[in-house]
Amino acid sequence: MRRRLIATLLVLAGIALLSAAALHYFRGYEAQRTGLREWEESRSRTPVPTLHVPTPTAKENPGILRPTPSPAADTSAAPYPHGQAIARLRIPAAQIDAVVFAGDDAATLEKGPGHVPGTEMPGDDTYRKNCVITGHRDSHFRHLGWLRKGHRIELETHSGEISYRVVSREIVTPDAVRVLQPTAKPRLTLITCYPFNWVGPAPKRLVIVAEPIRHPS
């Protein structure tokens, strides 16, 4: 009798865990579907030209510690659009096509890749230059590890569409704040936890850096 009771409890616990995981993925799927609809509607309200980039002169947190705000920050800027759809990320080589939301908290990252506050907003052109997006290794960024130097990344923003090419990838610790800091030239930085097959909170971070593709004048 006791053995049967223990077996029943283990089965119920397994069902509960599977249900929780299924609910997590379902919420992410629904958030992406809703976010994509809202993103397309926002883009259709105003025609968006292609952005030609000038030649440069509680759950596992997949991000890095926040950078220290720069004293040069514009305090008159619009409020941060936390939780809203702010871009669309397409990476054919990694089978990624996802709406990016503003924020890197657990609730936002459940919906999709999140923009790290304090870094360059997608489509902006400020002193920061470095746009950082993070996502979970077991959901929206599960194939980010497939990326290698030369792979192409497309980012739709409210300012236009930007094409990037991967220039580097590295494994860092979660305290590698340098990957979030402003840069001299525009770049897109993608971050997720590493290794991908780690059980529990992963100890490292995979950092993919891409730079805008130069357009002919």
Which of 25, 36, 11 is closest to 139 using CA atoms? 25
Going by C-beta distance under 8 Å and a sequence separation of 6 or more, which residues neighbour residue 167?
149, 209, 210, 211
Q: Extract the tokens encoding 207.
A: 């950092």
- Could you say which of 115, 131, 140, 193 is catalytic? 193
Q: Indicate if 136 belongs to the active site.
A: yes
| Backbone conformation region of residue 118, classed left if phi is above 0, alpha if psi is from -120 to 50, else beta | left
Report the run of H or E that residue 90 belongs to, with start and end: strand 85-91
What's the burial of 90, exposed, middle or buried (CB within 10 Å: 0-12/13-18/19+)?
middle
- Could you say which of 52, 136, 143, 158 is catalytic? 136
User: How far out from the chain centre does Cα 110 lie?
Assistant: 11
Q: Indicate if 131 belongs to the active site.
A: no
Per the listing, tokens 């908290």 go with 105
DSSP strand pairing (114-115 vs 204-212): unpaired
In whole angstroms, give the CA distance from residue 160 to residue 51: 5
The set of catalytic residues is 136, 193
